[in-house]
Amino acid sequence: MFTGRGQVLVLSGVFFLTAGFSFINYYLLAIGVMLIFAAVVNLPFFKLKKYRENIKVERSISSEKVFALDYLHVNVKIVNTGGVIDYLEFLDEIPKTFKLVLGRNSLSTYLTAGGRVEFSYIVQPRLRGVYRLGPSKVKVHDRLHLNSEEAVFENYSEIIVYPPYDDIRRYGQIGQRRILGVLFGAHKSKDKGVGMDFFGIRRYDPSDELRWVDWKATARTGKLMSREYETERNIKIMILLDSSASMCSGDLENNKFEYSIRAAVLLSQIALSRRDEIGLVAYSSKIDVFIEPKNGRRQIFRILDALARLSPSGLSQTYAAVKYTVNRLRKNAFYIMLTDLEGSSKPLLEAVKLIKARGSELLIISPFTPWFEAELYSSPVEKALSVAVAEELYENREKVIFELNKYQVPVLNVGPEDYIPTIMSAYLKAKRRGVGLT
């Protein structure tokens, strides 16, 4: 009802009034009475105005789907259909992970009868996910700020924030080139015998068709020689993403899970640009996401949409997830598992056996927790403790890796800096070796 200012006025009024009584002073008495009336006289008039009904708030956004670290333009229109509003405070709430880049999402203004204000601001979503802009909070004061009334407009705008596109911009251009040179050294996956591209000449085999015989080479060597052709074959990749709660420990923006997602997006984009089939399984206690390996332009948006909505929780049930995936995929594929290896090793080994039994190959890329949390510790005590914990974790990890190596499953330990180059390198090696050919 009363604002802080109104309360001070009432208390001052009572104080002066009692002083007037005590010292029999009519000036103090009059000022006390006046202050009390000044605080209360406006109340009914203020309450009579239907601010909640008279104020209309409209919000429009430039896009409902946006990549993290890109920009979003928000336009807000406030219309007053009632009488004069002496002072209106407005706040359009934005999610905590959104950064206000330009303009402002709050204002204070005076609105005439039937008046309207329109303003806009630009925000930058910092983290992928599904967010809501809003609610809009309105606080109306009288001219002297003695009375106030609040209203909340539940006008939400849902926004899907995809993982950042910056990695794709940065590495994508390199990945699309056939000869990557410095960074990766990519080559085509070859399937000799069929196709249009000439591969070489070899000795004739009785099983060869006569049309493959190279007569010039036969004449030159005096022996029957056959021409060999090649074609590029696409590979099938399945990303197994661990979305258990342990993956999101540490910094909100730069934890293992966010890096894994960025790596998965980049891998998907590059694989799809080279017409490979790529799929995604995100698992925790249950299968959170299952996207069958496919190629085509729509696949990247399926993956982006699924990754945007993913939130880590529960424990990782690796075996159940792998069993489900293997049963759904009839042909073999190249499995890339992104996990911090902090769950139980037994189900993981069972899952490895299952993949190997189907003749598929598995590569585990494992973000190592202490490398992702190194910057969070500032004091020497915290640093010393983190080193001790890191050693303990490393020992456990070495045991798991030793067991995995028995099944010829390579495990790559990664930190924030080498995560994306490592996954790119792994993909290009697989491509070169023709792992998981479709």
Q: Give contact residues for another protein (rule: CB under 8 A).
A: 1, 5, 8-9, 12, 16-17, 19-21, 23-31, 33-38, 40-44, 46-48, 50, 62, 70-71, 73, 75, 84, 86-87, 101-104, 107-112, 116-122, 143-145, 166, 169-170, 173
Q: Which of 355, 108, 125 is nearest to 253 (CA)?
A: 125
Nearer to another protein, 16 or 131 (CB): 16
Reported as type and span, the H/E element at residue 381 is helix 380-406
Contact 334, 237 (CB under 8 A): yes
Contacts of 190 (CB under 8 A, 6+ apart): 199, 230, 231, 232, 233, 434
Nearer to another protein, 33 or 183 (CB): 33
Contacts of 179 (CB under 8 A, 6+ apart): 185, 186
CA angle 14, 19, 23 (to 5 degrees): 155
What is the distance between the alpha carbons of residues 383 and 381, in angstroms, rounded to a whole number? Answer: 5
What is the distance between the alpha carbons of residues 422 and 225, in angstroms, rounded to a whole number? Answer: 42
CA 9 to chain centre: 51
CB of 238 to another protein, least distance (A): 31
Nearer to another protein, 124 or 438 (CB): 124
Contact 258, 340 (CB under 8 A): no
CB of 141 to another protein, least distance (A): 8
What is the b/e burial string over 194-229, where b = at least 16 CB atoms within 10 angstroms of the residue's CB?
eeeeeeebeebeeebeeebebeebeeeeeebbbbbe
CB of 146 to another protein, least distance (A): 8
What is the distance between the alpha carbons of residues 277 and 188, in angstroms, rounded to a whole number? Answer: 15
List the alpha helices (DSSP H) in 208-255. 215-221
CB of 266 to another protein, least distance (A): 15
Backbone angles phi, psi at 166, to 5 degrees: -60, -40
Contacts of 377 (CB under 8 A, 6+ apart): 383, 385, 386
Nearer to another protein, 87 or 290 (CB): 87
Nearer to another protein, 55 or 111 (CB): 111
CB of 56 to another protein, least distance (A): 15
Nearer to another protein, 46 or 319 (CB): 46
CB of 190 to another protein, least distance (A): 31
Nearer to another protein, 172 or 195 (CB): 172
CB of 297 to another protein, least distance (A): 22
Nearer to another protein, 143 or 220 (CB): 143
Nearer to another protein, 71 or 229 (CB): 71
Nearer to another protein, 106 or 221 (CB): 106
CB of 7 to another protein, least distance (A): 12
List the alpha helices (DSSP H) in 196-279. 215-221, 256-273
The beta-carbon contacts of 186-189 under 8 Å, at least 24 apart in sequence, are: 186/428, 186/431, 186/432, 187/431, 187/432, 188/232, 188/431, 189/232, 189/233, 189/234, 189/235, 189/431, 189/432, 189/433, 189/434, 189/437
CB of 98 to another protein, least distance (A): 14
CB of 362 to another protein, least distance (A): 34
